[in-house]
Amino acid sequence: MELIPVKDTAKAPAARFTGDVYLTMIKTPEPPSRLVASLVRFTPGARTNWHSHANGQTLHVTEGVGYVANREGQVIRMRAGDTVWTPPGEEHWHGGTDSTVMCHIAMLEATEDSDGTTWLEPVTDEQYATAHTG
């Protein structure tokens, strides 16, 4: 077995996120394992761009309150202790609410050559606001 010491925390890239988001890697794949896990901290108003994961994604909320939403208009309000599964290929975004932080552990299974995430356009302010009205 192996201790993996705590990794540095990085500001998430503006090309893929809106607002202030901080990423701390937990695990990168070591074949035959394909597990990718990271701790993601969203400040109020911050969220991912629209994106999808080739092998799906499991989100486990460790602190705060936030949202996951998909193209079909489904919005899940999630809070500490909750887990949300997004299936392979489903376009979605996740983030905090406009007034609360949200921290989650994101877990996914990589493909042969990448983490399997396809990044798309930013979530507009209108789309983000709509999630709060459901």
Residue among 1 and 40 whose Cβ is closer to Mn ion: 40
Q: Which of 57, 64, 67, 104 binds Mn ion (CB under 5 A)?
A: 57
Mark the segment that binds Mn ion (CB under 5 A) among 5-13, 24-32, 56-64, 123-131.
56-64
Q: Kindly give the pairing relationship between strand 75-79 and strand 57-70.
A: antiparallel
Residue of minimal Cβ distance to Mn ion: 57
* Three-class secondary structure of residue 62 per DSSP: strand
Residue among 87 and 134 whose Cβ is closer to Mn ion: 87
For residue 112, the 8-state DSSP code is S
* 52 within 8 A of 16, measured Cβ to Cβ: no
Residue among 3 and 15 whose Cβ is closer to Mn ion: 15
CA distances for 100 relative to 46, 63, 122, angstroms: 10, 10, 20
| Number of residues forming the site for Mn ion (CB under 5 A) | 1
Please report, as residue ranges, which positions from 81 to 120 form the binding site for Mn ion (by CB under 5 A).
none
Residue among 65 and 84 whose Cβ is closer to Mn ion: 84
Residue 100, exposed/middle/buried by CB under 10 A (0-12, 13-18, 19+)? middle
Q: Which two tokens stand for residue 60?
A: 């486990």
Mark the segment that binds Mn ion (CB under 5 A) among 36-44, 50-58, 74-82, 121-129.
50-58
Residue 38 engages Mn ion in binding (rule: CB under 5 A): no
Chain mean position to CA 82: 14
- Where do contacts with Mn ion occur on this chain (CB under 5 A)? 57
